Amino acid sequence: MYIENLEQWMQNIKVTNLVNADVEVVNNTPLVMMGKGRQGAVFQISDDICVKVFGNTEDCDREYYALSLGQQTSLFPKLYGKGPLYIVMEIIRGVDLREFLQSQPLTKALSAKLIEMLITFKKIGYERIDHHKRQIYLQPDGSLKVIDVARTIWRDRVYPYPRKLLTSLGEENKAVFMAHVQEMAPELYMEWLHYIRMEEISRQITELLLPQEPDKNKIKNLSNSLLTTADEKNYVVLLQGLVHKVFKEEWIKTMLARGADPEKVMEKIDAHWDKLEQSFESRHPESDSGYEGQRRFEGDRNSKGESESRRGKSFEGERDSRRGKSFEGDRGRRSKGAKGGKGKYYSGDRYDDRNRRDDKRDKNKGKDKKRR
């Protein structure tokens, strides 16, 4: 009978999500609300069946999916149906762990069941191996049932140990539970203890850093050393290098996506940029520009006399696994144009060697001027 009236009832129940508070409920049906939380409200349909109504479809879908993963176990309520904003399921009765521990001790047997619960969470594919004690129900036969599992498959943060469960137990029961874990699963205990200590250290660091106010004037003055646009000569070189870098990366990606041969692509890029460089230098002689021969794309191109040596060299950050060829940054290749070309050079070594030659050349120029 409830199936016939279910859709009509759902149209007359409105659940609205609130920020950091339980949902707001408007109920214009004969259904009695059993309880509510952050995601939805539960209404009793019969002695054994209830319907949970959500404020949005996303929470509804997550809850249903999470419950579906555990239907082959005895840990979760049975599912009977679903709509865009509701789930029909078995009513879970018993005593929740929060109420139970107010009058009863946390025994070793109960701790073992909690560990088994976390193992089941992991086994069926939950991302968050954790649960709050108020959502864990003890049954008359001593078994456990859990509710509100939507956040176990999705969460903006996932802790590597059952932080929510341990925190909800309170300090006294947390210590008892951890003692039981140490006795029954010592390796698991050591790992959880490690994460707990890391959390404590992180909290101490945060408490130390939060009250500190940075010296804005000091940072402002020191940060001037990072500025690059004031020096026009250096700015032009850096900008050329940036444009060149982006051009290379995008061209390589496009050509490889088309299935082109990496060696041929590199040759074409070399030829293209050599042509552009020669055109630039012909229009801007070194004597007029004051750049003293630094007509290259810094960080990417060697000096003019070494431009031919670029053929056969690899490009940075790319790899063609189909041909077993690597791009610059993965494997050094032989340098054909530079002195000592018989050895192998990685990209950083090659540019360091180039810079040393440039420094030596500049020093020689200085000596020539003194002689004159």
What ranges make up the beta strands (E) of 112-193? 136-138, 144-146
Give yes or no for a contact between 169 and 136, defined as CB atoms under 8 angstroms apart: no
Which amino acid, one-letter code, is at 4?
A: E
298: which DSSP letter?
A: T
| Contact of 239 with 297, CB cutoff 8 Å | no
Burial class (CB in 10 A: 0-12, 13-18, 19+), 53: buried
Residue 117 CB coordination number (10 Å): 20
Establish how many alpha carbons lie within 13 A of residue 211's alpha carbon, considering only the half-sphere containing its beta carbon.
Answer: 4
The string of DSSP letters for 311-327 reads TTPPPTT-EETTTTEE-
The confidence score (pLDDT) of residue 13 equals: 95
DSSP 51: E
CA distance 309 to 107: 76
To the question of pTM greater than 0.75 for the whole model, the response is no
Model pLDDT, residue 266: 77
Residues paired with 21 in a beta bridge = 18
CA distances to 233, 275, 288, 356 from 282, rounded to whole Å, are 18, 11, 11, 26
DSSP-derived 3-state class of residue 347: helix
Query: Which pLDDT does position 72 carry in this prediction?
Result: 94
Residuewise pLDDT in 10s, the chain (372 residues): 466 789 889 999 999 999 989 999 999 999 999 999 989 999 999 999 999 999 999 999 999 999 999 999 999 999 999 999 999 999 999 999 999 999 999 999 999 999 999 999 999 988 888 899 999 999 999 999 999 988 777 666 678 899 999 999 999 999 999 999 999 999 999 999 999 999 999 999 998 888 888 888 899 889 988 999 988 999 998 998 898 888 888 888 888 888 888 788 778 777 877 787 777 777 766 544 444 444 444 444 444 444 444 444 444 444 444 444 444 444 444 334 334 443 333 334 444 444 555 555 555 555 554 444
Look at residue 360 in the predicted model and tell me its pLDDT. Answer: 52
For 3-11, which contacts have Cβ atoms below 8 Å and span 24 or more sequence positions? 3/81, 6/45, 6/51, 6/81, 6/83, 6/88, 7/83, 9/43, 9/51, 10/51, 10/53, 10/83, 10/85, 10/86
DSSP helix/strand/coil, 15: strand
